[in-house]
Structure 1
Amino acid sequence: MVDDWVAHTPKDILAKNFGVNASIFGSVPSPNPYIFNGTVSTHNVTDGPAGTLSGDASFVYRTFQHPAEKVPGGGGEFRKIDSTNFPASKTLATTFVTLQPGGLRELHWHPNAEEWLYFHQGTARATVFIGNGNARTFDFRAGDTAAFPDNSGYVLVYRVTGVEDVS
């Protein structure tokens, strides 16, 4: 699926995502990569590195009291909230993403979860890839919500002013 996804992504978007010259993608392989099924994890997600939660555990995470990270696609920042930094969050993760105009949310996918996006302000364009050459591009504006199927790749390009991405 990855080479199919790359084959259907504009070369300038790939170049921006990976921080390289677009000419590098001149000989992208053809679709249908022959990826085989992997092994399903047996990891118990109810136990975490912080141990079992007790009645004294905090169920509040102060998102903006923690430093943001740079968006790998460039042109923005994100704050990830999951069990690595918020032990109460055992089965849900979220990311608050802010992109500058023209900023890119890097190509990515979630193999075992849907991707939900809520657009807080501005406009954006996202293309979702579900394999076998199947892709669709959507335009979003403030107040819109999107849900992409699990194991589908997507790329998001921000057009005007700020976007919240709830993964």
Structure 2
Amino acid sequence: MYAILTPLQTAPFSGPSNPEIDFQNPDLLAPPSTDFGSVGSGKWSLSLSPMRLLSGGWVRYEDELVMPLGDEMAGANIHLEPGAVRELHWHSIAEWVYVLAGETQISAVDQQGRNYFGTAKTGDLWYFPTGVGHHLQATGDGPSEFVLIFKTGLFDAAKTFHITDWLSHIPFGVLQKNFGVQGSDKWSNAPSKQLYIFPGEAMPSDTVAPDSPQGQIPEPFVFPWSEQPYEEFDGGKVKTVDSSTFKAAKDFAAAEVVLEPGAMRELHWHTTADEWSFFIEGNCRFSVFTEVAARTYDMSPGDVGYAPISSGHYIENIGNTTARFLEVTDSAEFEDISLTQWLALTPPEIVKMHFGVDDETVASLSKTKNRVVPG
């Protein structure tokens, strides 16, 4: 038998349990007294997702099958060894990506025959619209790693079409006819099965895309978010991106939030979209309130959180180090409603009638949005 010590109580186990998981999730082991009802699982650790190991890298993912609350967005995590290639492919749903580490070159060709070639570095973004063919390659001195978000609750619904998989199911004569090389042995070395990720040699840094008679894709698919400034707050900082700044990405918006120990992403909700959160550094408490329930989760690096549209939530840094995470919404604009600002701009008498507070308390509420509050 062992005991788990929490701020509220000691919870003894006489039977089997997993102490490592218990210690990582104290707010599930001994939920705050303010939690109630059943929200459904709003947390998933990518450490629990099976990896698909390939020559040159790996991929793992989460979707609503493992995190039922997340029925509008699903995510994946891909790692490429230096020079490795994520093969030419396309999706039936748009792809939005944040680079966690390394440098990745991308190329794409759209339905008008226009092309694009660019490089995304750590902290940058890229985006591919539905159906646009593209490839990825780790081109820096080390590996590259990134998280991908799709606007669907089921990862399989993102329907990835791989060029090697398709061509391996085309009769060789048809393939030669398509490329105008009948009667030769050209294309005979095409793979007989899907590659997905495979080793390669990094292209030179001065590589450019072939000239297209149709021109280049006008809005870049890479956005240098790493170069954008943060908005500073007492206790942390936030920077946002949406279709007004990353013009190619018309159906995703995001915030990157940095919290000092004890600081909190203020109580808020989103009016037009769900929120898919990804935790990069530090340890946080993430609490979600729906119209019928409330649940609190403990988040570590590599964890995914989810808050449905209009659900009130907050994220608090409960560790001793800086915390950093993403908030991604499937919307053209990053917007939220601040609880504090709402109350500050509501007639004071209404606020006092609701909460029994005095004039001084109401007057102290900020009429401007403070997305981070200090500890």
Q: TM-score range by the shorter chain?
A: 0.5 to 0.7
2:278 counterpart residue number = 118
CA separation in 2, counterparts of 1:60 and 1:86? 8
Deviation at 1:79, TM superposition (A): 1.3
Deviation at 1:165, TM superposition (A): 2.0
Larger-gyration structure (1/2): 2
Alpha-carbon displacement from aligned partner over 1:106-132 (angstroms, at most 9, x marks no partner)? 111112211111111110001111124
Matched, 1:155 2:317: no
Matched, 1:62 2:221: no
TM-score (norm 2): 0.29
CA separation in 2, counterparts of 1:120 and 1:99? 12
* Larger relative contact order (Cα-Cα within 8 Å, sequence gap ≥ 6): 1
Map 1:118-137; keep pairs closer than 5 Å: 118-132=278-292, 134-137=293-296
Which blocks of at least 5 consecutive residues in structure 1 are unaligned? 1-7, 10-53
Map 1:15-164; keep pairs closer than 5 Å: 55-71=217-233, 74-132=234-292, 134-160=293-319, 161-164=322-325
Deviation at 1:142, TM superposition (A): 1.1
Tell whether the 8 Å contact from 2:284 to 2:316 is kept in structure 1 after alignment.
yes
CA separation in 2, counterparts of 1:155 and 1:102? 13
2:86 counterpart residue number = none
1:13 counterpart residue number = none
**What percentage of residue pairs aligned between the two structures are identical?**
35
CA separation in 2, counterparts of 1:84 and 1:159? 33
How many residues align structurally?
A: 113
CA separation in 2, counterparts of 1:155 and 1:55? 39
CA separation in 2, counterparts of 1:56 and 1:165? 27
CA separation in 1, counterparts of 2:219 and 2:317? 37
Tell whether the 8 Å contact from 2:284 to 2:323 is kept in structure 1 after alignment.
no
Deviation at 1:56, TM superposition (A): 2.4
Alpha-carbon displacement from aligned partner over 1:115-156 (angstroms, at most 9, x marks no partner)? 111111110001111124x21111111111111211101011
Which blocks of at least 5 consecutive residues in structure 2 are unaligned? 1-33, 36-215, 329-375
CA separation in 2, counterparts of 1:135 and 1:144? 19
Find the partner of 1:166 among 327, 334, 338: 327
TM-score (norm 1): 0.62
Moved over 2 A (4+): none
